[in-house]
Amino acid sequence: MSDLPADRPAAGVSGPSPEMLEALRERLKERIYAAITMLAVVVGLAQNPHTRHATAALYVTCTAVGLWLATLVADAQAHRVVHQRLPDRREVQHFLFVSSPLLGSAAGPLVMVGLSAAGVLGLETALWVAVGVDVASLAAWGYTGGRRMGGGLLVSALAGLVDAAIGLGVVTVKLVAGH
């Protein structure tokens, strides 16, 4: 949750620029989209009794890299259409900064697959733990977002529950469609 700036800057220090706040907003949006997408992939892997460690790691990695590359291509194309020119170096750096959480969406599932490969727990269990962690992270983002917007504990908890419900909705759809 380090993508969010501190509530208040230190005395005598100005807060993040409007451009930085916008980049952080875009970055958080990408992180949430990636978590939801990865959730669907990991549920699919957990449901398949033939999934192996290498296959799970490959699918998780390819999903994250594919999302990242698709986002970069879409950003570059949209930029070119709107501005009628290729992005400059600063704009490319912005695209990379904003889209990098897409790659991070693979970290949790890959750690769990690695723990399973090391014999700490079974692969199916590891994948379901990764699903639970993703749903919990969505809830945490919702709660944190509610707090950052000035919501009290109840409103923030409700925001966290709504985000968790979205994650659980994805899990439910995958479970129903998978059988």
The answer to whether residues 158 and 146 touch, using CB atoms and an 8 Å cutoff, is yes
User: So where are the chain's domains?
Assistant: 19-178
What local confidence, expressed as pLDDT, does residue 124 receive?
97
The pTM for the full model equals 0.83
Q: For the chain of 179 residues, list the mean pLDDT of each consecutive stretch of 10.
A: 51 77 89 92 95 98 96 95 95 94 94 98 98 95 91 92 95 87
**Which residues contact residue 35 at a Cβ distance below 8 angstroms, ignoring those fewer than 6 apart?**
105, 134, 137, 138, 141, 167
Number of helical H runs and strand E runs in the chain: 6, 0
The whole-angstrom separation of Cα 116 and Cα 20 is 39
Position 25 scores a pLDDT of 87
Query: Residue 9's pLDDT is what?
Result: 52
Name 127's Cβ contacts closer than 8 Å, sequence gap at least 6: 42, 43, 45, 46, 51, 56, 109, 112, 113, 116
